[in-house]
Structure 1
Amino acid sequence: MSTEKKPLEKVCLICAKGSLEDVYASLVMANGAVMEGIETNVFFTFFGLDGITKKAMNHLHTATTGNPAMRMPGGLPFPTMLGGLPGVESAVSSMMRKQMEALDMPPVDEFLEMITAGGGKIYACKLAVDMFKLKKEDLS
């Protein structure tokens, strides 16, 4: 068995959750792989389909309940009960988007264009597309 390290040639990422942070995690990793010349495939399934659904892709939210890593500005833990209050998820999502814009992170549709323009491939799970009654024209 050889211990020689070989460069990564292919990567397949699976996005199964439609939250802002989950979709962006897939897109950031995919874009990084494409930029390194790695053959890149991104598979969107179940709620992750929101990341490639035209109506939803640029309106993703950050889950505020049940997220133990959620922090308030300044690093204080985010109380789970607070996340259930009306408007909190929307406000947190808006804050996240503003921070991402400040870092020049492109919106989802632009990120997808960058990935495909660089040779990356995007796939939608046929089962999930049928289950959510989506059509090809609903997807980016």
Structure 2
Amino acid sequence: MTDSHPLPTAPVAAPIEKVSIIVSKGSLEGIYPALIMANGARNEGIEANLFFTFFGMDAVHKERHDHIKVATVGNPGLHLPTLAGVIPGASALMTKYMERQIEKLDFPGIAEFVEMIHDTGAGLYACLASVELFGMERDDLIDELDDIITVGEFYDMAAGGQIIFT
């Protein structure tokens, strides 16, 4: 006996065409995931925009983007007691370790990675509120930055796509 009722099939999702990635953390483990995701999106032909806000601004700050550290205090991913993170030199030690691991994978440094992503056509935007909050000027930020925009302008840009918060 055959079943005359076919099994239901899952609907096919439309492919992702656009992602807007919010970069809010200024640590190595906060910035790299956003850059890797934006780079991956561009490699797949997906439109990508990065919106740097709060401490994520360090990734596009001329004097800070080469000095990003691993956050050791209260970072559960390190599997260390919180107290160990406050030991002098803990952050520097973990940062050096992570930089070596990143280098082994042949990932570029943050400044080079941001430039590379920009060169693929991804948009790079700084949050106007964060720029004002931290007393920054346009000259403090990297040349590759496309613009300093409001949150409303970011939402307009992100419309119709996926928003990823890192």
Matched, 1:52 2:60: yes
Q: What is the aligned partner in structure 1 of residue 87 from structure 2?
A: 85
Structure showing greater Rg: 2
Q: How does 1:5-84 map to 2 (within 5 A)?
A: 5-70=13-78, 77-84=79-86
Structure 1, unpaired ranges of 5+: 71-76
Residue 81 of structure 1: how far off its partner (Å)? 1.2
Q: What is the aligned partner in structure 2 of residue 94 from structure 1?
A: 96
Partners of 1:87 and 1:136 lie apart in 2 by: 33
CA offsets, 1:16-64, max 9 Å, x none? 1101011111100000001111010000000110011111111111111
**DSSP 3-state at the match of 1:69:** helix
TM-score by length of 2: 0.77
Partners of 1:23 and 1:13 lie apart in 2 by: 11
Partners of 2:86 and 2:54 lie apart in 1 by: 23
- Deviating above 3 A after TM superposition, structure 1's stretches of 4 or more consecutive aligned residues are none
- Higher mean alpha-carbon deviation, 25-34 vs 77-86, is at 77-86
Q: What is the aligned partner in structure 1 of residue 11 from structure 2?
A: 3
Identical columns (%): 45
TM-score by length of 1: 0.90
Residue 109 of structure 1: how far off its partner (Å)? 1.3
Aligned residues: 133
